[in-house]
Each structure stands twice: as structure tokens, then as C-alpha cells.
């Protein structure tokens, strides 16, 4: 076994199951699940129909690269969504289909991290693995985070370095706070915008800063943008990393790879469909890696995905449904606590008056509602744990259930 396996942390939902173990919630109140980021709005018919129409595609092995029509549909979506010229993204060399962003975010680090990279400068030797005199690679990521980033870094033999995202800084990472020594060893950074669990959005100026750092220190930026289509202001969609790179003149998207998904955008988490796009040189190697990894997207899924990326009506409607739920939820809970409406995502990142684990346990025991303790999504770093005393509430349930949940959470808060 790889010894790196022992560094992996239990997944947040394993911890949550433990926390709830043995508790019998009130039987007269139906359970409301707001812990997982699993959309429950209907999967659009056009996706289902395309899947059925192309079931015969199961008779063929799909290719890792995917069919050209899918890569073209994705490239077309990128240039419409991020307002870059139609030929800015080369569907042949700068786009690859992936089976949801999770597997791609994980496998990407396995391909990118080079444990043998670069001899250290003599005065930096102490910071490196002493027996090898080779710098331990660093993977930077937000804290709290989507835990796949951490697991990917650890299994790739890298050291995770966390960027605490706190209320004071609008729940955004502060790239200026990273020491030079860490940037020197950084080979990969994961950013997540809109963020899970805070819903904060990284603006173009911060993208620019990071792109300049990536050039200076020569690291790769993996931009997880899987919530980018769930936003509040219809006239102000979250910017994407490729968009900023292009506008800065980095038209080859050097050192940039974006990760997108149909799971949240198109309510199709079971389809397992997404894509990566960006730097052709990086994707050439990642393509080779994926060929061996064996993660080609089934043909019916590719055809369903083409339909999804070409349609925006269902996405606009999806956003309307989330907006409706945020408004109702905040309207009810706003009387008893401060609920910050995030600019994007479907999460409420709520401060708790008692510890986050006690809050989640008692809320389940008394109101039969499951939410996720914030500390299950974060690590102690620099004397703080930014997830402590927060819970993540995913407004994924139907509107009436979200309203019912808000009322029960209000009763619970009043009873504390
Ligand atoms: C931040 C973030 N990235 C990636 C994913 C993975 O999504 P999928 O694999 O369905 O594309 C999730 C899922 O919840 C997520 O929250």
C-alpha cells in the first residue's frame, strides 16, 4: 500500500454519520436533508432524452478525448459564457471531457505533481525533505474546502498548505499572506470560485494577482468553477479564470486549467459529466495520464452533455428556483440570526451560537434536520480553524421543504 493513504482524513459525511449515530429524531417531523450538495431540482428532459436516444452507444468503447461534437459544444459554451472570442479555445487541444469534476480534481494532482522537481537553493535546504534534499512539493488550497483537494495532494506525495477564508476578507483567499518559501515549493493551487462552502466569488483582480504569481513561481492553477452557474445577480455572473487570463493577454491560458460540471448547473449529478479546459501543454500530458487511468466518458453521456451545454433555458430557471429559496429562507431566519446571502452557490454558511457539532447534532435530534458542521470541512491552520462555529446548509431541497426547514431552525435557535 502507498504509505500516503494513512494521511487521508475521513470524509465529512463519514464524520456526520458518526455524529448522528444512536440519535432518534422526532418521528412526527419528516427528515429534511440539507447536508449534501446534491441538487434535487428535476434533471432537464433534453438530457434524459438524449441519453435514451443514444443508448445504442453503449456498444462502443468511448475514447478518452471524447467526440469532437462534445468538445466543440464545450468550447462554444466557454466563449459565450466568458465572453472571449469564438476561436479563443481550441476544442482539439484545450478541452477534455471528465466524468464529473471530482475525479478530475483528484487525478489532476496525480499527473501534475513532480516529487523530483528542482534542486533547492542552498539556504532553503532546511525546509525540504532532509533525506532527499529535494523540496517537498506544496499544493495550496482554500480552508474550508472541498476535501478532494487535500486527498489529491496527499496521495500525490505533496504537502497541503491552507489559505484560510474568513469573514473579514469576504471569505476569500489572501494570496499576499502566503510566504515566499511556500510559493517556491508550490506546484499546484486549487481555487474554488464560487466557493464551497461560503459561496464567495474571486474577482478578476485576484485572478490577475494569482496569474502573475503562477508565472513568477511557475505553478499550475486548478480553478474549480463547478458552482459558477448558480449565482444571484443575473447581470453579474462570476468571472472565470480563463476569461481573466485571456483579458490579460495570456491567450494560451498558460498554467491555467478550469474544472466545470453539469452536476450543479444542470441538476445532473448522476450523469457524471464535466470538462477541463485551458493550457494545451498541460492537457496534452493530462490526456495521456487519463488514457491509462481509464476514465473515458460513455457515449450516451457525451450526447446528453452536448444538449446540456447548448441550452441555457434550464440553467436560468435553475437559478430562479435557488433565488426563490434563498429569499424565503432568509426571510424566515433573518429575524433570529444573521444570514449572509452569498453571491453564488446554493449554500448558506451560517454562524452557530454553540459549537458547530453540537448545533448539528441537536438540530437533528430535536428538529430532524441534517446540516454539515463547518469544522468537518476545514483544518486547524495558523492558530485558527475557519470552519469552527459554522454550519453549511445546502438549499437543495424543494422550496416547501426549505421553508419548513427555516421555520424549524428558527424554533431551534429560539430554544437555545
Ligand atoms: C467544490 C466542489 N467541487 C467539485 C465537486 C464535484 O462535483 P462533480 O464531481 O459532481 O462535478 C463538488 C461537489 O459537491 C464541489 O462541491
**DSSP codes of every residue in 55-98:** GGGGGSPPPTT--HHHHHHHHHHHHHHTT--TTSS-TTTSEEEE
C-beta of residue 391 within 8 angstroms of C-beta of residue 371: yes
* pTM for this predicted structure: 0.96
With bands split at pLDDT 50, 70 and 90, how would you rate the model's confidence at 118?
low
Cβ atoms 2, 371 nearer than 8 A: no
pLDDT digits (tens, 9 = 90+) for 344-387: 999 999 999 999 999 999 999 999 999 999 999 999 999 999 99
Closest C-alpha among 313, 399, 281 to residue 40: 399
Give the C-alpha separation, 104 to 263, whole Å: 14
- Per-residue pLDDT of 57-100, as tens digits, reads 999 999 999 999 999 999 999 999 999 999 999 999 999 999 99
Residue 416, C-alpha cell as written in the block = 437555545
Measure 374 CA to ligand 1 centroid, in angstroms: 17
In the prediction, which pLDDT does 129 show? 53
* Beta-strand relationship, 186-192 and 138-143: parallel
Closest CA to 375 of 367, 365, 366, 361: 361
Find the 200 Cα to ligand 1 centroid distance in Å. Answer: 16
Q: What are residue 37's phi and psi, to 5 degrees?
A: -85, 50
In percent, the amount of the chain with pLDDT more than 70 equals 96
- Ligand 1: which of 97, 101, 224, 274 to mutate, judged by most atoms within 8 Å of the beta carbon? 101
pLDDT tens-digit profile of 259-276? 999 999 999 999 999 999
Residue whose Cα lies nearest atom 13 of ligand 1: it is 37
Whether the pLDDT of residue 128 is over 80: the answer is no
Mutate to test the pocket of ligand 1, among 34, 99, 102 (most ligand atoms within 8 A of CB): 102
Q: Which of 223, 264, 377 to mutate to test the pocket of ligand 1 (most atoms within 8 A of CB)?
A: 264
Amino acid at each position: 500500500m502507498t504509505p500516503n493513504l494513512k494521511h487521508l482524513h475521513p470524509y465529512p459525511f463519514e464524520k456526520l454519520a458518526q455524529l448522528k449515530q444512536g440519535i432518534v429524531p422526532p418521528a412526527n417531523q419528516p427528515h429534511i436533508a440539507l447536508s449534501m450538495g446534491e441538487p434535487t431540482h428535476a434533471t432537464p428532459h433534453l438530457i434524459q432524452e438524449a441519453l435514451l436516444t443514444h443508448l445504442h452507444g453503449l456498444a462502443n468503447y468511448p475514447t478518452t478525448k471524447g467526440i469532437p461534437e462534445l468538445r466543440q459544444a464545450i468550447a462554444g459554451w466557454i466563449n459565450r459564457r466568458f465572453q472571449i472570442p469564438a476561436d479563443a479555445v481550441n476544442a482539439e487541444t484545450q478541452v477534455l471531457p471528465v466524468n464529473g469534476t471530482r475525479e478530475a480534481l483528484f487525478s489532476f494532482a496525480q499527473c501534475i505533481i513532480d516529487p523530483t522537481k528542482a534542486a533547492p537553493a542552498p539556504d532553503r535546504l532546511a525546509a525540504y525533505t532532509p533525506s532527499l534534499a529535494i523540496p517537498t512539493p506544496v499544493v495550496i488550497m482554500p480552508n474550508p474546502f472541498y476535501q478532494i483537494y487535500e486527498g489529491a495532494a496527499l496521495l500525490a506525495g505533496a504537502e497541503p498548505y491552507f489559505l484560510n477564508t474568513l469573514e473579514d476578507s469576504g471569505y476569500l483567499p489572501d494570496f499576499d499572506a502566503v510566504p515566499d518559501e511556500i510559493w517556491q515549493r508550490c506546484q499546484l493551487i486549487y481555487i474554488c470560485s464560487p466557493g464551497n462552502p461560503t459561496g464567495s466569488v474571486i474577482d478578476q483582480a485576484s485572478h490577475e494577482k494569482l496569474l502573475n504569481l503562477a508565472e513568477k513561481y511557475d505553478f499550475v492553477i486548478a480553478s474549480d468553477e463547478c458552482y459558477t452557474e448558480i449565482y444571484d445577480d443575473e447581470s453579474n455572473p462570476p468571472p472565470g479564470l480563463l476569461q481573466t487570463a485571456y483579458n490579460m493577454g495570456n491567450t494560451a491560458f498558460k498554467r491555467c486549467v478550469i474544472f466545470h460540471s453539469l452536476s450543479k448547473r444542470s441538476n445532473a449529478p448522476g450523469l457524471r459529466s464535466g470538462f477541463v479546459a485551458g493550457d494545451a501543454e498541460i492537457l496534452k500530458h493530462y490526456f495521456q495520464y487519463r488514457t491509462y487511468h481509464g476514465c473515458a466518458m460513455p457515449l450516451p453521456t457525451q450526447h446528453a452533455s452536448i444538449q446540456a451545454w447548448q441550452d441555457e433555458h434550464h440553467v436560468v430557471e435553475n437559478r430562479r428556483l435557488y433565488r426563490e429559496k434563498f429569499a424565503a429562507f432568509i426571510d424566515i431566519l433573518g429575524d433570529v440570526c444573521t444570514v449572509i446571502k452569498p453571491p453564488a452557490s446554493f449554500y448558506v454558511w451560517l454562524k452557530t451560537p454553540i459549537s458547530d457539532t453540537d448545533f448539528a447534532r441537536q438540530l437533528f435530534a430535536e428538529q430532524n434536520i441534517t446540516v454539515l458542521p463547518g469544522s468537518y470541512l476545514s483544518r486547524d491552520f495558523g492558530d485558527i480553524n475557519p470552519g469552527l462555529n459554522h454550519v453549511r446548509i445546502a438549499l437543495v431541497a424543494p422550496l416547501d421543504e426549505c421553508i419548513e426547514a427555516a421555520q424549524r431552525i428558527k424554533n431551534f435557535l429560539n430554544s437555545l
